[in-house]
């Protein structure tokens, strides 16, 4: 393995608002894993999608909240990082539109932001 391979160098945090259920987190996670551009990167070990407990500014856990973190690994974190961010934003919006169409009520709001690998 070359230096830097397998090392998370950039991340993207997806945070759903307080109206989200645990089911919403799981459904969005699965949706992201099936989005072709993201799935292709994951298949080649350039990207990983995980759920993490949400923490406050001091690093303490906040209730049962979860975030989804898309970790961009190694060389993929450089030149193509903004492309991955844009794809994640489009994928989250597509998930929200789909949820609106198949479930009652408005889907939770979502924020998508780049983070350092150790940030939660």
Assigned domain for 85 exists: yes
Which pLDDT belongs to residue 55? 62
Assigned domain for 1 exists: no
What are 108's two structure tokens?
A: 């939770």
Contact 115, 12 (CB under 8 A): yes
What are 43's two structure tokens?
A: 């298949």
- 113 Cβ contact partners less than 8 Å away, ≥ 6 residues apart: 12, 13, 15
pLDDT tens-digit map of 61-98: 444 578 999 999 876 677 789 999 999 999 999 999 99
- The dihedral over CA atoms of 82, 88, 90, 94, expressed in degrees to the nearest 10, equals 180
Output the domain CATH number for residue 75: 3.30.70
Range of the domain at 95: 10-55+63-115
Rounded Cα gap, residues 100 and 8, in angstroms: 33
Specify the residue for token string 């989804």: 68
pLDDT tens-digit map of 9-66: 789 999 999 888 889 999 999 999 999 999 999 999 999 999 988 765 544 444 457 8
Which pLDDT belongs to residue 8? 61
Assigned domain for 33 exists: yes
Assigned domain for 120 exists: no
- Whole-model pTM: value is 0.82
Which pLDDT belongs to residue 89? 98
In this predicted model, which residue has the larger pLDDT, 83 or 119?
83
Closest CA to 112 of 7, 9, 14: 14
Which pLDDT belongs to residue 79? 74
Assigned domain for 2 exists: no
Q: How many folded domains does the chain comprise? A: 1
């Amino acid at each position: 393995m070359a230096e830097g391979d397998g090392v998370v160098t950039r991340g993207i945090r997806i945070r759903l608002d307080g109206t989200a259920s645990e089911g919403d987190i799981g459904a969005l996670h699965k949706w992201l894993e099936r989005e072709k551009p993201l799935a292709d990167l994951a298949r080649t070990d350039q990207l990983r999608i995980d759920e993490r407990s949400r923490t406050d500014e001091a690093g303490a856990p906040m209730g049962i909240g979860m975030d989804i973190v898309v970790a961009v690994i190694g060389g993929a974190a450089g030149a193509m990082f903004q492309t991955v961010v844009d794809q994640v934003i489009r994928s989250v919006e597509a998930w929200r539109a789909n949820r609106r169409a198949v479930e009652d009520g408005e889907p939770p709001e979502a924020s998508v932001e780049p983070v350092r690998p150790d940030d939660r």
